[in-house]
Structures are given as structure tokens and as C-alpha cells.
Amino acid sequence: MSKTREQKTQEIERLTQAFKQGKSAVFTDYQGVTVAQVAGLRKQLRTAQVDYVVAKKTLLALAAKQAGYDINFKLFPGMMGVAFGLDDEMAPAKFVGDASKTTPIKLVGGIFEGKPVDQAYVITLSKLPSKSQLLGQLLNVMNGPMSAFARFLSAYKDTKIEAPAA
């Protein structure tokens, strides 16, 4: 059953707000993905404050244009879905990239830092560590020298205690 003009207008308004409010957007081709797989992906994405929307290419193009982006969605292959990152701009690419390893969903493009980007850029972003992983790595790098110095002082103290006083 096709949507009425009013439903399409509401969908365009919702998508326009998502384009404006989202820190990033990742465009996907979800052709061949089952409904259960999309539901599982949406559940995963919700935990990371990412909104996944499936819409017709014409509605996406109108919403993107109203949000200030000139994107021709008809150039993208397959059926379109868009993951909007509300908190973390890397989360949509990371989660959809991880999902593409087990499902037929494909990354086809996106918007980062207010600019449209191509498929290769989004795929590269999806392979980077997440924000929390990067913060953990930074903490390890910063904590490493301090813990090594503490071990050195402890070992030095032990050698002084063991040595007999002359």
C-alpha cells in the first residue's frame, strides 16, 4: 500500500530533522537483508544513539536538499537505508560496518563533518577503532610509563632492603 501525500510530507520532515540534527549519516544498501536482521541491527544501533531509517530514494533526496545537502540518491545501488549518528559521529559507520560482516548490508556513502563522502571513505571509517577503544588505548599509553616507573621504584626499594648494611 502506497503512502499518502500527508504521510510522505511527515516522512520528509522527519528525515530533514534527522539530517540536520545528526552528527553524521551513513547510507546503506540493505537489499537482501531480512526483516529480522534489520530489526537486530536497529536494536544494536539504538544502544549507540544511532537512528536507522529505511526510505525511498526520492524522499531521502528531498529531505537532504531541505537540510542543505545536494545528494543524488538515485546514483546509489539497491534499496536505501540511512543510519544517523546522534551522539558519536563514528558510531553509524562502525556498527553498520560490523553488521556488514555477517549480513548482506553494504556501506555506500555518507555525510561526515557536514560534507558528503564516498563509499571508500565510509568503509575506511568503519574499520577504525571506536571512540571508547581509542580512549582506552590512549589511557594505556599514558599509564604505561607511570606504572613502569612505579615498578622500578619498588624493585629499587627491594634491592636496598635486601642489601646488608656495612
Query: Residue 92 sits in which domain range?
Result: 5-128
Global pTM value: 0.75
Domain co-membership, 153 together with 101: no
**Count of C-beta atoms within a 10 Å radius of residue 64:** 23
Domain co-membership, 116 together with 163: no
CATH of the domain at 84: 3.30.70.1730
Domain co-membership, 48 together with 110: yes
Domain co-membership, 115 together with 135: no
Mean pLDDT for the chain overall? 87
Domain co-membership, 31 together with 113: yes
Look at the chain and report how many structural domains it folds into.
2
Domain co-membership, 87 together with 102: yes
Domain co-membership, 116 together with 165: no
Residue 60: per-residue pLDDT: 93
Mean of pLDDT values over 56-82: 91
Domain co-membership, 46 together with 26: yes
Domain co-membership, 88 together with 151: no
Residue 163: per-residue pLDDT: 57
Domain co-membership, 113 together with 151: no
Residue 164: per-residue pLDDT: 60
Residue 80: per-residue pLDDT: 92
Domain co-membership, 61 together with 137: no
Q: What is the DSSP string of 10-58?
A: HHHHHHHHHHHH-SEEEEEE-TT--HHHHHHHHHHHHHTTEEEEE--HH
Residue 160: per-residue pLDDT: 77
Domain co-membership, 105 together with 134: no
Q: CA 121, 123, 127: angle at the middle one, nearest 5?
A: 115
